[in-house]
Amino acid sequence: MTTVGEVVHLVDVVTGSAATLTPADGAWEVHEGGPVRMWRRLGDVLDAYEAAGAPGAQRRSPCTCTTAGSTCGIRR
């Protein structure tokens, strides 16, 4: 993620996907490209986090994925 002025750029260098968030009339305008819809995926992750009761850091630990093509960052 990088910010240029008020524009936020999310880039996935593995898949070549990108999302650009630009402020527009008090909201955000999102443009996505590439095979992964990053903004939608981020929304899905935040929904799952909130559905789990927004657990604190003490309930999470890093994990390591050994399966090729897996995505993994945090597990409860």
Contact 14, 5 (CB under 8 A): no
Pair type for strands 7-12 and 2-4 = antiparallel
Q: Collapsing DSSP states into helix, strand and coil, what is residue 42?
A: helix
CA dihedral 71, 67, 48, 4 (to 10 degrees): 0
What pTM was estimated for this model as a whole? 0.59
pLDDT in tens, the chain (76 residues): 889 999 999 999 999 999 999 999 989 899 999 999 988 888 898 898 888 888 776 555 555 455 455 444 444 3
